[in-house]
Structure 1
Amino acid sequence: MPANGVRLSVRPFLAEGDALVAKILFGPCCECQLSRPTTRNFFAVAANFLAVEGDMPKAVHSIRITHRQSGLVIAEGPLGFGGITPFEGNLYISRNCLRTKSLRPNWVPGLCIYKFLYVWLDLRLPDGSREPSLGWMYWLPNPLLPFIAFRPAVPRVSPMLQVDDIVG
C-alpha cells in the first residue's frame, strides 16, 4: 500500500490475463480481484472499474498566482481551456483570468522547436521595480497547440511565485 494510504483496486470482471496487464500498468499498489471474467478487453474494463479506495482528494476548481515578495495577484481563475491551462508543468493564463496589467514583454525572443517563437515577460511592480523574465508568451505559436497561443505563461514551481490551488 502506498505511503498516503490510498489503494487502487481494479473491480471485479477482469479475466486472468487482464490481471497481469493491470499489475504491469498500475504497479504493485493495484489489487486485482479475479471473479466472473466477462470480458477480455482490459482497457474498457479498467476505465469502468478502476477506483481509488480511501479519501478522494477534492477537485481543484481554480488557481491563484501571486508574486511572493509584493503580494501582487497576477492571475486567478478556473482550470481549463477558458481559464488557466496547465501544460508541461507551466500555467498558461487566458486574458480574462489576468488580474494585473504588469506583465510586459522585454523583447528578448526565444525558440522552442515544437512550440515555436516566444518572448519573455517582465513583471513591473507597483513600486517601480521589475522582476525580469518571470514569464513568457508565444507570439508565433504552433497551430496544433491553440491553448498556449498569445497567453502569458508562468512556471508552476518558481521561487518568485506562489501558486495556490483553490478547492471548492
Structure 2
Amino acid sequence: MTRLNPVDVLILLLYFALVIFIGFYVKGSTNTSEEFFLAGREMSAWVAGLSFVSANLGSLELMGWAGAAYQYGMLATHWYWIGAIPAMLFLGIVMMPFYYISKTHSVPGYLHLRFGEGARAVSAVSFALMTILMSGVNMYAMAVVMQTVLGWNLTFSIWVARGQWRCT
C-alpha cells in the first residue's frame, strides 16, 4: 500500500487551504452567473478554454486511464490522444471564444440562442441525468483513490468524497 510522506500531506493541506482561501476571497465579488463563469468578462477567452480543459481532469481520468493503460498498453494512450485531446482542444480554442463572443457561458445557453427553448430544455435535462448518474461513479472513483493513497476505509472515503461533491 502506498503511504504519503509528511511533506506530501503538507503540500496537499497547503493546496486545499489556498483553494479555500481563494474561494472565500472572491466570494463577495461574484453576484451574477456572468461574474462566476466568466470572471465578469475580465478574463480572456483562452483562459476560459484552458480552465475547461483542466476541469476535465479528475479522479476518473486518474483511475480510468491508468487502468486502461495497464490493461491495453499503448492502445489506451492512442485512444486518448486521438479521441479526447483533439476534442478538448477544439472546445478550448474554437468553441470557448465563440461562447464568449455570443455572451453565453454554457452549451444550453448557446442552444437557446441558436435553436430556442426546446433545444435548451432537452440539453439541460439530458445533462442533469448524466450528472446524476456520473456523480456516483466519480465519488466512488475518488474514494478508491483516497483508499489506495491514504489508506482510509472505503466507506469513510465515500463520505469524504460526498462532502467534497456537496461543496462544489
Q: Same fold (TM over 0.5)?
A: no
Query: RCO higher in 1 or 2 (8 Å CA, sep ≥ 6)?
Result: 2
Q: Which has the higher helix share?
A: 2
Q: Which has the higher strand share?
A: 1
TM-score w.r.t. length of structure 2:
0.20
TM-score w.r.t. length of structure 1:
0.20
